[in-house]
Amino acid sequence: MDFSMPPEDHPARVAIRTWLAANPEPDGRALAVAGYVAPHWPEPWGLGADAETRLVIEQELAGASIAMPDNPIGIGWAGPTIVAAGTEEQKQRWLPSILDGSTFWCQLFSEPDAGSDLAALRTRAVRDGDEYVVTGQKIWSTWANHADWGILLARTDPDAAKHEGISYFVLDMASEGTEVREIIEMTGGNHFNETFLTDVRIPAENRVGDEGDGWRLARLTLGAERLSLSEGGVLWGMGPTTGDLFAAIAAKGGLSDEVDRRRAVTLHEEEMILRLFGYRILTKMMHGGDPGVDASIRKLLADLHGQHVMDFMKNLRGPAGMVGAPGEHAAERDVWDWGFLFSPALTVGGGTTEVQRNIIAERLLGLPREPAE
Ligand SMILES: Cc1cc2nc3c(=O)[nH]c(=O)nc-3n(C[C@H](O)[C@H](O)[C@H](O)COP(=O)(O)OP(=O)(O)OC[C@H]3O[C@@H](n4cnc5c(N)ncnc54)[C@H](O)[C@@H]3O)c2cc1C
């Protein structure tokens, strides 16, 4: 592991500071055109930046409090798959608006009977001339109710082996026959949805990769998703952080209870381990490596840490922490209540903790693979 941070005179640091001086309040479009939204993507979409340059750019943008385009699924995991497997025409069509956030993306993979065992999916896509006719049901589709486009897995060959009959599509969410129903969660809010597809026509030009190559592309997407979520930190970057927890404790004059103090130290240790593990992944990437199974380890640790932080805050708040309840007073609840109620989802979304453990067991520890069906 390399602990030294890129120097002050790193060429990328000098370049972005010069650019920010000329563009002090860049919008999504300006950031995308400059290649700063996903600098690690190849040109012209990014800058073909190595991990060190990417770190420098992220540091500088965060330091200047620059708001990045809000399109996590588009930028985090749909985009990288299109970069890797899309045709030139598909890249020209979708990547600019993914990067500048002018289109919003969702992921239509999971089904009622296909979550961890995603390859069991049953949504059908039947070729009809220049189109596919798609019928099936998706579930847990995050932000599908706001999305313009969705990445979709569907079975094009029901007679092929389970992993081989799947294809990868990009769905215009305004297509006739697409019905999105919101799911209200125990937070009282709405994060994900059910998506029903009835005879939805998708142009064949919206298929990414070859027919039957969907499982390979899905694995690319899922790898990018794991990395993206694990980089987000506590609550995948959607809520209060471990730093916010310690700031709240300090604002109340610290902790007097011995057990609480010990738990707080443990949380600090967990956070340090996560940070160092992040540096390890970065070091590996700086030397041209792929995060591989390390992304699963980091996601596993980060998700459990997120739950520990939320649980600790809930306990610290005592009876007052129990008052917030979903429903009528949902809007009045603060971010900690929301975080506590959302936190069970951390060890499920993006691949459950058990699935991450299976990956680590098989790919890192070399334990026997699960029996094939
Ligand atoms: C917040 C959130 C956002 C999500 N967003 C999206 C989205 O945008 N798009 C999308 O397509 N999906 C999304 N999902 C769905 C998510 O990918 C699935 O919930 C997840 O893959 C688990 O599938 P499942 O819910 O069907 O549970 P199941 O697969 O039925 O698992 C049930 C339990 O069995 C365990 N289990 C299953 N198989 C094994 C095994 N082989 N070994 C050991 N234990 C096992 C699991 O760990 C779990 O505890 C989201 C989920 C959450 C929580």
- Look up the CATH number of the domain holding residue 350: 1.20.140.10
What the block records as the tokens of 301 is 């640790």
* Shortest-distance Cα residue to atom 29 of ligand 1: 116
Average pLDDT over residues 224-233: 82
Tens-digit pLDDT profile for residues 232-268:
778 898 888 899 999 999 998 999 999 999 999 999 9
State whether 186 and 261 are in the same domain. Answer: no
pLDDT at 3: 61
Q: Which residue has the higher pLDDT, 41 or 1?
A: 41
- Ligand 1 atom 51 nearest Cα: 349
Atom of ligand 1 nearest to the CA of 350: 17
Can you give the pLDDT at residue 325?
54
Domain assignment present for 84: no
Task: Return the best residue to mutate from 348, 357, 360, 370 for the ligand 1 pocket (most ligand atoms within 8 A of CB).
Answer: 348
Q: Residue 264 is encoded by which pair of tokens?
A: 């707080």
State the catalytic residues: 225
What is the residue with the minimal CA distance to atom 43 of ligand 1? 354
Percent of the chain with pLDDT over 90: 75
CB neighbours of residue 369 within 10 Å: 10
Q: What is the pLDDT of residue 6?
A: 80
Q: How confident is the model at residue 9 (pLDDT cuts 50, 70, 90)?
A: confident
Provide the mean pLDDT of the chain: 91
Kindly state whether residues 237 and 359 are assigned to the same domain.
yes
Same domain, 182 and 248: no
CB 49 within 8 A of CB 40: yes
Residue 86 is assigned to a structural domain of this protein? no
Residue 332: pLDDT over 50: no
Confidence (pLDDT) at 260: 96
What per-residue confidence (pLDDT) applies to 327? 53
**Which ligand 1 atom is at minimum distance from the Cα of 108?**
11
How far apart are the CA of 107 and the centre of ligand 1, in A?
14
Query: How far is 299 from 296, CA to CA, in rounded Å?
Result: 5
* 360 shares its domain with 240: yes
357 within a domain of the structure (yes/no): yes
Q: Is the CB of 345 under 6 A from ligand 1?
A: yes
Residue 95 lies in a domain: no
Ligand 1 center–CA 20 separation, angstroms: 41
- Same domain, yes or no, for 55 and 112? no
Rounded distance from Cα 348 to ligand 1 centre (Å)? 5
Q: 252 and 186 in one domain?
A: no
Please indicate, yes or no, if residue 89 is contained in any of the structural domains.
no
Task: Tell me the CA end-to-end span of the chain in Å, nearest whole number.
Answer: 40
- State whether 46 and 151 are in the same domain: no
> Residue 370: inside a domain, yes or no?
no
Residues 238 and 351 in one domain: yes
Confidence tier at 2 by pLDDT (50, 70, 90): low
Q: Domain count for the chain, please give it.
A: 3
Same domain, 245 and 187: no
Q: Give per-residue pLDDT as tens, 310-327.
A: 999 999 988 777 766 555
- Do the domain assignments include residue 91? no
CA of residue 44 to ligand 1 center, whole Å: 35
Mean pLDDT of 59-88: 94
Strand 178-184 and strand 166-172: the pairing is unpaired
Do 303 and 191 share a structural domain?
no
Confidence of residue 349 (pLDDT cuts 50, 70, 90): very high
E strand map for the chain:
105-108, 124-128, 131-139, 149-155, 166-172, 178-184, 190-203, 207-208
Residues 6+ apart with CB under 8 A from 318: none
| pLDDT at 326 (0 to 100) | 54
**Does the beta carbon of 87 lie inside 6 Å of ligand 1?**
no
Asked if the structure places residue 114 within a domain, the reply is yes
CA 285 / ligand 1 centre spacing (Å): 28
Same domain, 246 and 354: yes
For ligand 1, atom 40, which residue shows the shortest CA distance?
355
Q: Residue 182, SS3?
A: strand
Which residue shows structure tokens 């936190």?
343
Q: What range does the domain containing 193 cover?
A: 105-213
Q: Does residue 244 share a domain with residue 289?
A: yes
